[in-house]
Amino acid sequence: MKSSVSARARSALVSGLVLGFGLAAMVPVLAGEPAPATQRHLGSIEREKAGRATELLNAAVAYLKHNGAKQAFAAFDDPGSSFHYGAYYVYVVDQSGFMHANGAEPMQLSGTNVLELRDAVGKPLIKDLIAAAQQAPSGAVEYRWRNPEDQRIELKVALFEKVDDYIVCVGYYTPRATRVEAQALLDRAVMLVKGSAPDVAYAAFNDPQGGYTRDDQYVFVLGLQDGRYRASGASPHLNGMDMRGVKDAAGTPLFDQMIALALKDGSGEVDYVWRNPATNAVESKHTLIQRVGDVLVGVGYYTK
């Protein structure tokens, strides 16, 4: 079946994925899903952000326990208080989904039932948060929300702790991958392809827990002769698809460019626009590629 898919159909499918997710990412609502955030290995920047969020959460919980709900919620709602700085703020919901405090905009969320609020990809943050809090007194959930510092929809980790019937939350936005990190991941991936059976390497790249996929960064592998995905960490369901002729949202034949570059020079860099799996927005991407035998291995990073 895969070999019968036309270039036009492939282009329509991939473009639909790109543009569809891009439109969804513009929806300004809270988002949520049970988070593997506490299971992954954090880089130094994310550890620092998680530390700040934890400090603020601990302070908010202590303040609530010592001063009572009325005084605490007023403080959490006040953007000029010590419970709100930059992209860090406190919000509180109860087991019914009623939001008692929300230090972020829009302030009108405070004092309303937000049980049905959903994120840019349609997942219910509050329902998932309540479900997580019913399983453990503290933890984390992930969702996608507008970062007030750059006004972009980004992946966010919300740390929570239960206090009686209340769920107190503080979140932080995960950092974007850098060129240095992309090059390091590409080097690791190339070493694995060279040092192991192809199926073993490709399985690791396709596995979200395989150590080669993290937030907005992942490994992909394309066949140089047939243009087919051998691995695609962000979209494993595309494996086996011939990507030749597929263009990005700006009309760039990115895969053809990658294949031509790998065949000619063995390695190089390609710019295009693509869906960021961490934000679900269409963004500019810079990808590093390297040829290994009859395939090319690529890792990119999003620039804006």
d(CA 126, CA 31): 8
- The whole-number average pLDDT for the span 279-301 is 90
Fold of 2-24+177-302: Beta-Lactamase (3.30.450)
Q: Is it true that 2-24+177-302 and 33-173 share their CATH fold?
A: yes
Can you read off the two tokens belonging to residue 15? 């473009």
Report the pLDDT averaged over residues 4-15.
42
User: What's the pLDDT score for residue 47?
Assistant: 76
To the question of pTM greater than 0.75 for the whole model, the response is no
Distance of CA 222 to the CA centre of its chain: 23
Question: Which has the minimum average pLDDT: 2-11, 42-51, 129-138, 170-179?
Answer: 2-11
The DSSP secondary-structure symbol of 177 reads P
The mean per-residue pLDDT over the stretch 69-94 comes to 93
Query: In this predicted structure, what is the pLDDT of residue 4?
Result: 36
**Residue 128: closest CA among 97, 106, 103:** 97
CB 90 within 8 Å of CB 76: yes
Q: Which of the two residues, 289 and 14, has the higher pLDDT score?
A: 289
End-to-end CA distance of the chain: 37
**Distances 173 to 128, 170, 273 between C-alpha atoms, Å:** 18, 11, 22
Q: What is the pLDDT of residue 185?
A: 94
Q: Could you report the per-residue pLDDT of 245-260, keeping only the tens digit for each? A: 999 988 999 999 999 9
Instruction: Please check whether residue 261 is in contact with residue 157, taking contact to mean a CB–CB distance below 8 angstroms.
Output: no
Can you give the residue ranges of every domain in the chain? 2-24+177-302, 33-173
Query: 151: exposed, middle or buried (C-beta count within 10 Å: 0-12, 13-18, 19+)?
Result: exposed
Torsion of CA 262, 263, 265, 271, to 10 degrees: -40
Is the pLDDT at 5 greater than 70? The verdict is no
Superfamily for domain range 33-173: PAS domain (3.30.450.20)
To the nearest 10 degrees (0 to 180), the angle between helices 44-67 and 69-77 is 140
Across residues 182-200, what is the average pLDDT?
Answer: 95
Mean pLDDT value across residues 217-240: 93
Asked if residue 158 has pLDDT above 90, the reply is yes
The pLDDT value given to residue 2: 38
24-58 pLDDT, tens digit each: 222 222 222 323 444 444 555 677 888 999 999 99
Determine the pLDDT at residue 217: 86
pLDDT bucket at 119, cuts 50 / 70 / 90? confident
- Answer for the pair 175, 49: CB distance below 8 angstroms, yes or no: yes
pLDDT of residue 152 exceeding 90, the answer is no
Note the pLDDT of residue 209: 81
Confidence of residue 210 (pLDDT cuts 50, 70, 90): confident
Question: At 5, phi and psi to the nearest 5?
Answer: -75, 125
SS3 143: strand
Confidence of residue 14 (pLDDT cuts 50, 70, 90): very low
Q: According to the model, what pLDDT value does residue 37 have?
A: 43
